A = this chain, B = another copy of it.
Amino acid sequence: MLYFIGLGLGDAKYITVKGLEIVRQCSRVYLEDYTSILWYPFSVVGAYFGVLNAKKKKNQFNLPRATTHSDLVLRALNAGIQYHVVHNASIMNAVGCCGLQVRIKLQSNVVILRIFVVSIVFWTDTWRPESFYDKIKKNRDMGPHTLCLLDIKVKEQSMKNLMRGRNIYEPPRYMTFAQAAEQLLEILQNQRDRGEELAMTQDTVCVGLAQIRAEVQTIHSGTLQELMSCDLGGPLHSMIISGHLHSLEVDMLKLFSGPEGLKTLKMTDSSTYVS
């Protein structure tokens, strides 16, 4: 049996009781740090989980990041090994802690998802995709908030090392809120130059989130511009660009704003709130 056990968002104690029981009975335990950051040293988690002789091995699988777990499921089944999933929290639902509704009940009694997700990737000198902006624009037109997951670069090789076949990797990079905001503002300037109607401005209400997990998490709300100079602390950062705001959501956002922030929140049109 191959178990997939969610580690949750926090230290080693954010595993479920059930998950921990299973880990302690397993003959082999792999810690997956390829699709996220592990927040604690491998030795600590190994000791807590009661995994004797825990050793950090290099990633032995060559997997596409977004489909890592499906790929492992299919490989296991092909090898005649059954699998079982023990779920846990992920950023996809935990962002609700900032007070923006992941789901909301509308008057028509139809519940719709209130947060859609895009990823913002690191630009290079020659590769500056703007496609995520189109998605943000669509969302703001329709109403939902946009959760922007920010790029992670781990185990990346420089072009030089890649061409020379040297397995030397660049230090990991995690996109900050400010870096994402800079790219976004550049796209907005490009849109402005082309005479396009803008989906948002530097005054649009956003939320900056960092290390959404126990104890240390940081949440700031304010305008995009304000948040660019906020210290959110270490990675991973996320950005939420607000869509239509419910009054209860505004009340929640105020919990995370500066002393003056969001006091003067004004709705300029159905999908634009400026402070």
Contacts and interface: CB of A to CB of B under 8 A. Distances in A.
Given A67-B101, A104-B66, A248-B67, A118 B129 contact: no
B129 A119 contact: no
A90 interface: yes
A173 interface: no
Contact of A88 (B66, B74, B89, B129): B89
B116 A65 contact: no
A87 B211 CA distance: 13
A135 interface: yes
A187 to B, nearest CB: 13
How many copies of this chain sit in the oligomeric assembly? Answer: 2
A67 B112 CA distance: 13
Nearest to A94: B87
B113 A131 contact: no
Q: Is the interface of A mostly helix, strand, loop or mixed?
A: mixed
Contact of A112 (B69, B99, B110, B135): B135
29 contacts: A8-B16, A8-B87, A10-B18, A13-B17, A14-B16, A14-B87, A16-B88, A64-B105, A67-B101, A67-B105, A67-B246, A67-B248, A70-B249, A74-B248, A87-B94, A89-B93, A92-B93, A92-B102, A103-B117, A109-B121, A109-B129, A110-B131, A111-B119, A112-B118, A112-B119, A112-B135, A113-B116, A113-B117, A116-B116
Interface of A: 6, 8-11, 13-18, 20-21, 64-67, 69-71, 73-74, 77, 85-90, 92-94, 96-97, 99, 101-105, 108-113, 116-119, 121, 129, 131-132, 135, 149, 214, 246, 248-249, 251-252, 255
